[in-house]
Structures are given as C-alpha cells and as structure tokens.
Amino acid sequence: MSHTRLEHCHECPLKVSKFCFVPEKLGGMVILLIMFGILVCLVASISLAPHSAFSKPDRWFPLPEHILAVQKNTSVIHSGPTNISHLQFGIAGSANTWHDRSNYTKLWWNPNTTRGFVWLDKKPKILHSDMLVPPYQISRGWTRFKYLHSASAVRIARIVYESFKLGLPNVRWFVMGDDDTLFFTENLVTVLGKYDPNEMYYIGGNSESVEQDVMHAYNMAFGGGGFAISYALATQLAKIMDGCLSRYFFFYGSDQRVWACIHEIGVPLTRENGFHQFDIRGNPYGFLAAHPLVPLVSLHHLDQLSSLFPNQTQINSMKKLISAYHIDPARIVQQIICYDHKRGWSISISWGYTIQIYTALLIAADLQMPLQTFQTWRSSMNGPFIFNTRPMSSDPCQQPTMFFLDQATKVGKSGSITIYKRHEGNESKCLRSGTNNLELQRIRVTALKLDPEYWKNVPRRHCCQLLGGGSIKNGSMDIRIKKCRSHETITI
C-alpha cells in the first residue's frame, strides 16, 4: 500500500470498507468474530433468564451474612389476634447450667404450642430425652468479637440476630429471656397483643433496684426479666447487629448491648410492668402480695430468692403458683382489698398466692404498697426501689396474719375456688386484747375467671364481699371476688 493511500485513509476514517488498510480477508474474519460473539451472548442471556428467575442471588454474588439473613427471613405478618404460635423464644443458657436450670423452663414450656430454642455455647453433656424443654441451638460466630468484660454477653446478645436468621414462618415477636426466667405465656400474649408487630417495638421492664438502673440504664429492658422485639424491629436490628456489637464491646451485659443497638435505630423502650427482673435479695413475698395492677408476665432470679411458699423448695413453690395460674391466668397475683368492719380487719388478697389480714383498718393506699421483705440486689440495702415500700413492723400486733394458697380448683367453665391456709411462723404472737384472730384457719375465695380482654381497657381493681357477714364457721371464712359497682369504693 502506497504512502498516498495511507494518507487518504487517515483523512477519511469513516469509510473503512473502501479505504482501510486492513486486508479484505482479515476484515471479514473480524466481522464474523463480532457477529459470533453477539450470537453467543444472546443465547447465554436467553438460557440464563429462567435460571436466574428461580435461583437465589447469593449464589451469584455472595452478600454479607447480616444482609442475607434479612433476605432469607421472608415471613409475612398477617392480620388477626396474636397467639402463642406467633412468638419465637430465644432462651439464653449454657451447657454447664442448662440441665439444672431447665427445671424452670419445664414449668412454662408447652411443646405443642411454644416455639423457640435455648441457645448454648456448646453441645450439652447431658441431653434431655423429654419434650418438656425447648430444643437447643449452638451459638455460632460469636468468638470473633472482642469484649472487655464477658464473652458470653456477646454470645447472648447475638441470640436476637440468630433467632431472626432462622427464618421461622409467621413470627411476630422475638422474646428473649434467661434459662432461669419463668414466663407466664398467656399473659405475655395478652400484653403483646396490644401492639402491632409491623411497627418497631422494644418491650420490657426495668430493674427493681435503683442502683441497677443507675449503673446500666433506666430506659433499658433488663434481659433476665425478658423482653420482646417486634418482627419489624428485628428486621432492622439484624442489619446492624454485628457491627453494633463491635462498637459496644466495652458494655457489661448482653441486654445493654441490645439496648445500645436498638437506640441506634431510634426506638425507645415500651415499658410493661409485668416483666420482673427481680433484682432483689431476700423474700419476694411483700412484692407479690401487693403486685401492681398489670398482668404477671415473667419472674427471674428465683434461685437467688427465698421460696415463695414457706417450707417448700422454689420449684415446688412455683408449681403451686402455676396450678392457680392455669385456672385463671389473667387474675394470678392480682390484689383485691376489702374490710371486715365489725372486727376492724383489713383484708388483702393476692389471688392464687396469699391473703393478709391486719387486725386494724388500713387505708387502701397503704395496702397497695408492698411490705419490704427484701433488699436491693447489689448492696443488700433497704432501698431505694422503683416503687414505694412500707417497712415490716417489729410489733407483732401490727404485722399481718399470712395465709398461703393450699388448693386451687376450677368450677364449671368460668369459675374457681381457691383455699388459703393460715401460716404459723416462728414470729412472736400478738397478746393485745381484741386483736386475736386465732379461730380463723382457712379462707375460701370464689371468683369468676378474669377475661384477658379486661387488660385492654383501663384496669380497675376488683372488689370483694364477705359472705355470711364475715362469719367464721369451723375455722373457715368465705369471700367472693366481684367487679366493683360503678359507684363502689374501697373505704375503711
């Protein structure tokens, strides 16, 4: 090719077919290769279209684990009332303690209705052969996180994320608790049923001891008492969980880590006073005898407290309390107050647990205030607590006579009879004239079952009536619990 022709081609670059310096045979081969490449791409795209429609994207471009978990969990929250099947429990345990502490879980776990797992650090040496405990899962991936205080706190905090990652269908709420937490599941369902799981909710309770709340946080749900996270919040929490745990490595407990991560999303704590961390020492009697007007949801630290019933193990005490709970879940430990004006007695009933009789007329505001039979969790002091207390008098004449649940019986479809037997402790007896009530040995209480819908309205304490004018026959008195009439008051 001459120099003149090269210059001509340079001046007319668009007329390649006539003037380009590429040989004609080679140019044809290039064109054929281009056409063949286009054809291959076309065939490949057509063949991959149905494959991509039915295959998971992570097989093509692997995503970070926390994003993948959100994609895999595709549960759809349907309308309709919340029931126990909509809750997924994540119980924090360890291989070393689970065998013994599972005795508490057996008291409330129902294998036919309850869903969830106990999360352990490793495979337990002793495996449960019965179905009365939840199946176990081994926590994964938690050892890679740094920590300042406790590695187990990191593992337990991750249970929220790992529970979500399982992708169980029709989950509305993720409920966290410890292996020594006792849940009253019907009341838990009632409480969570007030809220929409499609919204971001973080529900639980504080510590009873102010020193604990000051040390950790007032607006944090304490994990031993249990807390619930809505599906909508869990979806967002799963996206940030691992990075968040890395940021808050210096926190002490697992619940504090979860609280910090939820606050990064901007969701506050919704308090429900039926979740009980029980950060107290001693005897919880005073608190449960004057339980706040809310459904009982959980109890924690039972191994650290005196037995609820005298002369019984804590496990047997809880079995007795739960026997009454199954008859009337919504009413358990609800306080009712009435007076025997003829004798000048004040009567306080904690349904399904205990009855107190004072041989003096006390105002309702005092009777609703727990006797301080316990101390603070950390320092074993007399307070402060997040609720008011009244001291137990050293004068036996000002102390209540205590009756404890002896029997609980269902009557028909909607009634109950509970019998409370007088407790004779080692305390000094009141010798003051006119204050002797030794003839009373048993109190029988009748009641209609409390509708769980009752808690959806503004609650009001029920009233009671002394049957037979309060007469005592064969050492027994009969009391009936009833709804207060519109203008009825509890007046001394």
- Whether 103 and 46 map to the same domain: the answer is no
- Whether 441 and 344 map to the same domain: the answer is yes
The whole domain housing 79 covers 67-276
Residue 49 lies in a domain: yes
Peptide bond into 384 cis (omega under 30): yes
- Whether 394 and 259 map to the same domain: the answer is no
Q: What span, in angstroms and rounded, lies between the C-alpha atoms of 110 and 155?
A: 26
Nearest one of 276, 280, 227 to 256, comparing CA atoms: 227
- Whether 114 and 256 map to the same domain: the answer is yes
Q: What span, in angstroms and rounded, lies between the C-alpha atoms of 153 and 121?
A: 11
- Whether 90 and 31 map to the same domain: the answer is no
Residue 384 lies in a domain: yes
User: Residue written as tokens 């026959």?
Assistant: 473
Domain total for the chain? 3
pTM, two decimals, is: 0.84
- Whether 226 and 368 map to the same domain: the answer is no
Nearest one of 204, 175, 163, 158 to 86, comparing CA atoms: 175
Residue 109 lies in a domain: yes
- 476 burial (CB, 10 Å; 0-12 / 13-18 / 19+) is middle
pLDDT in tens for each of the 492 residues of the chain?
A: 444 433 443 444 433 344 344 444 545 665 666 666 666 555 555 554 444 443 433 333 334 454 455 545 545 566 799 999 999 999 999 999 898 899 999 999 999 999 999 999 999 887 766 667 899 999 998 988 888 888 889 999 999 999 999 999 999 999 999 999 999 999 999 999 999 999 999 999 999 999 999 999 999 999 999 999 999 999 999 999 999 999 999 998 999 999 999 999 999 999 999 999 999 999 999 999 999 999 999 999 999 999 999 999 999 999 999 999 999 999 999 999 999 999 999 999 999 999 999 999 999 999 999 999 999 999 999 999 999 999 999 888 889 999 999 999 999 999 999 999 999 876 667 777 666 677 999 999 999 999 999 999 999 999 999 999 999 999 999 999 999 999 999 998
- Whether 251 and 334 map to the same domain: the answer is no
Residue 308 lies in a domain: no
